[in-house]
Amino acid sequence: MNDETASVSLVPVDDVVLRQLVRAAVTDATADEVTPPLTPGPSWTVARVDWLRAYHQRCRDGLTGAAGEATWAVVVNQNIVGSVRLKKTGVEGALETGIWLIRKTRGQGIGRMAIAEVLRKARLLGAHEVQAKTTARNTAAQRVLRSLSFNITTPVDGSEIMGSFTIRPAPQH
The string of DSSP letters for 72-134 reads: EEEEETTEEEEEEEEEE-SSTTEEEEEEEE-GGGTTTTHHHHHHHHHHHHHHHTT-SEEEEEE
Q: Which pLDDT belongs to residue 54?
A: 98
Among positive and negative, which fits the CA dihedral 26, 32, 37, 39?
positive
Contact 48, 113 (CB under 8 A): no
Q: Where are the domains of the chain?
A: 8-166
Q: In the CATH scheme, what is the homologous superfamily, with its name and number, of domain 8-166? A: Gcn5-related N-acetyltransferase (GNAT) (3.40.630.30)
Give me the count of residues in the chain: 173
Does 89 or 170 have the greater pLDDT score? 89
Q: Which pLDDT belongs to residue 5?
A: 59
SS3 69: strand
- Least trusted range by pLDDT, from 50-64, 85-99, 146-160: 146-160
Q: Which pLDDT belongs to residue 42?
A: 87
pLDDT higher than threshold 50 for residue 1: no
Residue 87: beta bridge partners?
A: 69, 96
Mean confidence (pLDDT) of the chain: 93
